[in-house]
Amino acid sequence: MIQTCCRCILDSQFPQISFNDDGVCSYCLAYEKRDKKFAINEKNTQKLMNLVKRIKEWGRDKEYDCIIGVSGGRDSTYCLYLLKQWGLHPLAIHFDNNMDSKIAAQNIKNACTILDIDLHTFVVDWEEYKDLQVAFLRASVPSVDVPMDHAFQSILYRYCWENEFKYIFNGETFRGEGPIPKQWTCNDLPFFLDIHKKFGKKPLKNYPVRKRFDLLKYRLKGIVQIKPLNYVHFTYDQIMPLLEKELKWSYYGGHHFECIFTRWAFAYYLPVKFGIDKRVADYSVLIRSGQMTREQAVKKMQESIYPPGQEREDRRYIMSKLELNDSDMEEILNSPPKRNSEYAHHSTYFRILNTLLSPRQI
């Protein structure tokens, strides 16, 4: 019998889930603990403002006092807006995987221009990235978006290391996303390298791989990643009109739909091939944070992810970009689904060690 959480819309088929005697799922209980830790109160607000003050002092007489990764999405754009409101001087960094949507690209341009923030765009070595992305598709795993996620985080830390920065701002917030179970996504380096070894054809000479030694040197350098939205009260119903008015920002149709490949992967590839609809996790966290009712979430889950004709258009675009023909794509879509765990992973010991070595997050 399938059990559904009495608070959110996760059920007993969701990975790594359990329920207490009251029918509340383990994800809701974990959220309660984080919500208590990052309570929106005077103490935590002061903690954030003290940190902002330290960053300003560190960056005095420097052109920039911090960096922030931007995607054109609502979270990173709002975080960029707040940094400017707080009097910081960030450098915006964007990872261009050659498949940004036009809306996302325009959002980044508009925000940086209006806020008078310099933008540095890291353009990927396309031949390497293309080969790597195809390798992940041929590996037939749910973690198909790892090549972009791994590279984006890697270039932020590498840029700090090479340019003597200490502070990275990140627009993620636990009140607006996830958590995503490891069965759906995996960023372990052995996993990444195993798939590249088995299905890739080009050596990764320029792709920004982040190894254990890199984690250690970044930590010893004192590089810190900050997620300020965890300390700020907001709702998407509030900030989206604000961004539209102040920064000429436009919505792109769905969570993480800034990139055309990610839009297709989340809206078609994962649901069709693996039965994974990430909206169930997204809507559940919005229920927990009071931004959506359970009834609204159930109704929205019944809606189509894609507008009519969009999937076919996206698929043809991706095939053209990755140089895949119809036969290649049919083989990818029809090959037996595999679990992330069928490829190499860190042992529990090394996973704990990596956590200890990794740069601090606030």
How far lies 263's CA from each of 24, 162, 350, in Å? 31, 32, 33
Q: How confident is the model at residue 211 (pLDDT cuts 50, 70, 90)?
A: confident
Q: Tell me, what's the pLDDT at 347?
A: 74
Number of H helices, E strands in the chain: 16, 6
Residues pairing with 206 in the sheet: none
Q: What does the pLDDT average to over 180-189?
A: 88
Q: How confident is the model at residue 356 (pLDDT cuts 50, 70, 90)?
A: confident
- Distance between alpha carbon 188 and the CA centroid of its chain, in Å? 15
Domain 41-274+306-351 has CATH 3.40.50.620: yes
Q: How confident is the model at residue 218 (pLDDT cuts 50, 70, 90)?
A: very high
Is 354's pLDDT higher than 90? Answer: no
pTM for the predicted model, two decimal places: 0.95
Residues 63-104 pLDDT 10s = 999 999 999 999 999 999 999 999 999 999 999 999 999 999
DSSP string, 292-316: S-HHHHHHHHTS-SSPTTHHHHHHH
Is 274's pLDDT higher than 80? Answer: yes
**Interacting residues of 54 by C-beta distance below 8 A, sequence separation 6+:** none
Is 285's pLDDT higher than 80? Answer: yes
DSSP string, 40-55: SSHHHHHHHHHHHHHH
- CA–CA separation, 98 vs 241, rounded Å? 28
Averaged confidence pLDDT in the chain: 95
* Stronger pLDDT, 354 or 28, i.e. the higher one: 28
* Exposure of 16 in the CB half-sphere (CA atoms within 13 A): 10
Q: What does the pLDDT average to over 127-140?
A: 97
- Domain positions in the chain are 41-274+306-351
Q: Tell me, what's the pLDDT at 213?
A: 86
Is 51's pLDDT higher than 80? Answer: yes
- Whole-number percent of the chain with pLDDT over 90: 86
